[in-house]
Amino acid sequence: MKLDIFLDPLSLLILIPLFAAILAFLIRPIRRYVALLSAAGVGFFAVLIFIDIIKSGSKAILLPRVFGIANSLSVDYLSAIMLLLVSFFAFMIFIYSFKFGSGPKGDWRFFVFSLLTYSAANGALISGSVLVLYLFWGILLFTVYGLLFFGKGDVESTASKMFILNGTADFLLLFGLLVFIFYTKQSGMSVEPGQLSYFPKTILQRFTLNNPLAIISFVCIAVGALTKAGSFPLHTWIPKAAETAPAETMAFIPASLDKILGIYLFLRLCYSVFEIRSNTTIQIVFLSIGAVTVLAAVFMALVQKDAFKLLSYHAVSQVGYMVLGIASGTILGLVGGLFHMMNHALYKSSLFLTAGSVQRNTGETNLDKLGGLASAMPLTFFSFTISALAISGVPPLNGFISKWLVYQALVDIGSRNPVFYIFLVAGMF
């Protein structure tokens, strides 16, 4: 392998935050500057890659074959957009952390593990094969585990709960990926086994879900992806984290990064590898997961008194819209689900950060004890209000547009099969 591979922009997306994490650990007084400069640098290369993708359509770095599987770091339009999103949110979170730098002793852990998580997330997004994907996906499990130890209260219980739930899902993901490799080798199609993208432009050539191996692979990988996104029923660590984790962590992990990664993989699975509409039963199962996620989490959010717990349950509910859109199997649903993921990451991270600002200034998160802060914190009030209206789907804000697209996708599939009309109930919330 040539040494210049490490200077390629794709490699730098991983290496810059990795070395920044090491530097932040070794020279802790400059950790905030290191994190901010790292995010700015990675963001710069993400923009360069996006411009290059517009011109060329794709970019890849070939890696050594393992067990006969071709491996690579690759990026296309979809992953290039995801890289821009991750870089944007990392930069904004580090700015927020820089502003409120007088946090609890030991906040170096937040910066070190955030940078490591940032590095692994970029690696997962540019993985060209299932083996490379699982490598970075597994690293994420440990970096988020470490990140959750920075906070207050029973952080060990929170981190352990996340590790158990996500570790279980990651085991299913690994099993699904291994079955997928075997299936692609036995499919009889002239394809390279174990790749993450086969026929993104030709629906008829995607793998259909009419083979037991294909179904097992699809379901196991989807469970891993949706658990990362925070979908029902393996979502319960997120409200738990709201009790112990600071606003920065909640805004970076469950509000933005996990949603981007989980929904990205689920979308890639449904549109670049398999054809979800080829099996109505499987489609109904995942539409049901989306609907239950929306309804159950919304009702749980309604009874919360703590601002962070309310936002955490609502963050879970929004995953349901994304799943409903993508599982509809339509282009309209794909666009709606993807757009809602972007919108959610934007306004939910904003809500967590504004709630964190209120907490830092008042020392309180109990909604019954808060009020009358608009005049004292006008900028925070304005930011929170706009984000709250957007998340409520009030037109003409972005939340309304993405929810409307998902709703129209459900109307579309319902017109072809009346069974699907039942999912419109969830789409109306």
Instruction: For residue 169, give the 3-state DSSP assignment.
Output: helix
Q: What is the DSSP letter of 12?
A: H
Measured between alpha carbons, how far apart are the two ends of the chain, in Å? 52
Whole-structure pTM value = 0.90
Short-list 364, 118, 76, 360, CA closest to 257: 118
Closest Cα to residue 161, out of 141, 177, 180?
141
Mean pLDDT by 10 residues, the chain (429 residues): 72 94 90 92 94 84 77 86 93 81 64 94 89 91 91 86 92 91 72 56 64 92 92 85 86 86 91 86 92 88 86 89 91 91 89 86 78 79 88 84 90 83 69
Distance CA 329, CA 405 (A): 13
What are the residues whose beta carbons fall under 8 Å from the beta carbon of 132, sequence distance 6 or more?
63, 71, 72, 73, 123
Q: Is 149 left (phi over 0), alpha (psi -120 to 50) or beta?
A: alpha
The Cα 302–Cα 162 span in angstroms is 23
Task: For residue 62, give both structure tokens.
Answer: 């070939």
225: tokens are 């992806």
CB 158 within 8 A of CB 145: no
73's enclosing H/E stretch is strand 69-75
Query: What are the domain boundaries of the chain?
Result: 1-147
Is 167 in contact with 141 (CB distance < 8 Å)?
Answer: yes
CB atoms within 10 A of CB 302: 10
d(CA 403, CA 426): 11
pLDDT score of 81: 92
Calpha distance 197→300 (Å, rounded)? 37
Closest CA to 52 of 37, 74, 85: 74
Question: From the CA atom positions of the chain, what is the Rg in Å?
Answer: 21
> Can you give the pLDDT at residue 187?
66
CA dihedral 80, 84, 89, 92 (to 10 degrees): 160
Which tokens is 312 given? 């955490």
Structure tokens at 308: 């962070």
Cα distance between residue 377 and residue 383, in whole Å: 10
Exposed/middle/buried for 86, CB within 10 Å: 0-12, 13-18, 19+? buried
Buried-state track 354-373, b at ≥16 Cβ within 10 A, e below 16 = bbbbbbeeeeebeeeeeeee
- Residue 49 has a pLDDT of 93
Q: What pLDDT does 2 receive?
A: 62
The pLDDT of residue 107 is 79
Neighbours of 353 (CB within 10 A): 27
Asked whether the beta carbons of 271 and 225 are under 8 A apart, the reply is: no
| Pairing assessment for the beta strands 69-75 and 207-208 based on DSSP bridges | unpaired
User: What's the pLDDT at 220?
Assistant: 94
CA–CA gap between residue 424 and residue 258 (Å, rounded): 26
